[in-house]
Structure 1
């Protein structure tokens, strides 16, 4: 993720550890933290819910009721208000700083977006959308990455309509994060939910048939829905189209097979349901940011 020129012009480096540059708006704030020296157990706390997202380097996070974990570029973390973080910076250097943003979003702002979702985006399982109340750690998809990149630009520019621009982007960000949370729930608890939730059943069906051709017609039949209704419900609930979800599942399976030298690349892409290598290469690079051969070299 790129920081704008206006950020570098306005920020002042005062501290080597968690140097903070802040941009405060009416119902939100963005803080960009830079660490230029290795450090351990640095404590940080916010009085409002926070979205933290890594730009560069590595942190090791120590949170209440959660095992310690690495926090890496391309990942985000939702933290409830008053969550005390203890952070290690094992790789930070003066010429290679660790960078992270933390975005505070007011609770009333969160509630207003969730009320809107419950009015306009009714869930097929009858449940309501709710505020995340736990430490949710996830990998940014392309849509969330682009929103965060845009927000960094908006917060750091000097524009009279900045508050309005940011407010609209935050609304989209909250919706997409809640969809990611739903998607992750269906992915990690598929078997437990499959008997009660049609989309969880479809996710399990996709996984069981990942090496075979899969169509919207086939999946909508399994979900007992029309094709148009299935597509709409799936995208609304999961945040991505069925086709994109199938490709993500196939690439996830491919990463597991690529770690095993027993499989050559042709065996890998065929086992994951791809019919030609060029399309497999394109999807792998789009989702993982690296081609399959380079990914495999990590395990050599």
Structure 2
């Protein structure tokens, strides 16, 4: 993500560690933090739920009840209000600063979005949508990336209607983050949840049968839903279509199989359930930005 020309023209560099430039609107505040020298154990806390997203450089995050982890560009972190962050900056330099955005969103705005989701897109078996009450670290998908890039522009733009523009973008951002969180829960806990949740059962079935044909029609029957309702419910809760989810899981498996230099590309795509090499190549490249053969070759060079 790129910071706008308006940001650089308006910001003042007053501190070398976590220099803060802030923009406040009705339902959210955007803070851009820049660190221009190495530092350790820097403390930061917000009084509202916050989305932190790395723009440039590297942080090491220390959060309560969690092991420390690297926080890198393209990744985001959701934190509840009053959560203390302890941060190291191992690579920051004056001419190559670490940059991160932190967006504090009003709890009233979040509650209204949750009410809207529960009314118009209720969960199938798992109660109501609610704000996660733990630290959620994830990689931005293309939808979230584009929203954050747009919000960076809107907050720094001098426009009389930007409160309205930002409000609309915040609603989509909150929905997409909750769907991303739901997708993570279903993927990581599908086995435990599958006995009492139809979507968890389907996710578990998909992951155990990636090598077999997986048609939406057959999956909807296993979920005891019509095909159209299954598709709608799946996309509402997980944020992606069943086919995209299946392909994502197959590509995860392919990445694992490609670690073996003795595996042929044909063996890999057949074990992952792809019907042809051309389709496998297209799906793999769309997600990894490189052809599977080139990906495997690079792994072997590094090894």
What TM-score comes out, normalization by structure 2 length? 0.94
Q: Structure 2: how far apart are the matches of 1:261 and 1:36?
A: 42
Q: 1:169-192 CA deviation, whole Å, 9 max, x = no partner?
A: 101111111111111111000111
Partner of 1:124: 124
Alpha-carbon distance change, 69 to 105 in structure 1, aligned in 2, over 3 angstroms? same
After TM superposition, give the deviation of residue 166 of structure 1 in Å: 0.2
Q: Structure 1: how far apart are the matches of 2:133 and 2:28?
A: 18
Partner of 1:148: 148
Q: Structure 1: how far apart are the matches of 2:294 and 2:7?
A: 34
Q: How does 1:43-82 map to 2 (within 5 A)?
A: 43-82=43-82
More displaced, 237-246 or 34-43?
34-43
Q: Structure 2: how far apart are the matches of 1:90 and 1:98?
A: 10
Q: Structure 1: how far apart are the matches of 2:228 and 2:161?
A: 38
- Superposition RMSD on alpha carbons, in Å? 1.6
After TM superposition, give the deviation of residue 293 of structure 1 in Å: 4.5
More displaced, 203-212 or 226-235?
203-212
Partner of 2:260: 260
Partner of 2:83: 83
Partner of 1:181: 181
Q: How does 1:166-245 map to 2 (within 5 A)?
A: 166-245=166-245
Q: 1:160-215 CA deviation, whole Å, 9 max, x = no partner?
A: 10000000110111111111111111100011111111111111111111122221
Q: How does 1:274-289 map to 2 (within 5 A)?
A: 274-289=274-289
After TM superposition, give the deviation of residue 291 of structure 1 in Å: 4.0
Partner of 1:112: 112
After TM superposition, give the deviation of residue 34 of structure 1 in Å: 1.6
- DSSP-derived class of the 2:119 partner: helix
* Equivalent pair of 2:176/2:239 in contact (CA under 8 Å): yes
- DSSP-derived class of the 2:108 partner: helix
What TM-score comes out, normalization by structure 1 length? 0.95
Q: Structure 1: how far apart are the matches of 2:210 and 2:268?
A: 12
Alpha-carbon distance change, 38 to 290 in structure 1, aligned in 2, over 3 angstroms? farther
Q: 1:44-75 CA deviation, whole Å, 9 max, x = no partner?
A: 11111100011122111000111111111111
* Equivalent pair of 2:126/2:197 in contact (CA under 8 Å): no
Q: Structure 2: how far apart are the matches of 1:91 and 1:294?
A: 30
Alpha-carbon distance change, 134 to 94 in structure 1, aligned in 2, over 3 angstroms? same
Partner of 1:6: 6
Partner of 1:41: 41
Alpha-carbon distance change, 98 to 284 in structure 1, aligned in 2, over 3 angstroms? farther
Alpha-carbon distance change, 43 to 285 in structure 1, aligned in 2, over 3 angstroms? farther
Q: 1:254-290 CA deviation, whole Å, 9 max, x = no partner?
A: 2212223232333222222223334333322332344
* Equivalent pair of 2:49/2:80 in contact (CA under 8 Å): yes
Q: Structure 2: how far apart are the matches of 1:55 and 1:264?
A: 37
Alpha-carbon distance change, 71 to 292 in structure 1, aligned in 2, over 3 angstroms? farther
Partner of 1:271: 271
After TM superposition, give the deviation of residue 82 of structure 1 in Å: 0.8
Alpha-carbon distance change, 282 to 99 in structure 1, aligned in 2, over 3 angstroms? farther
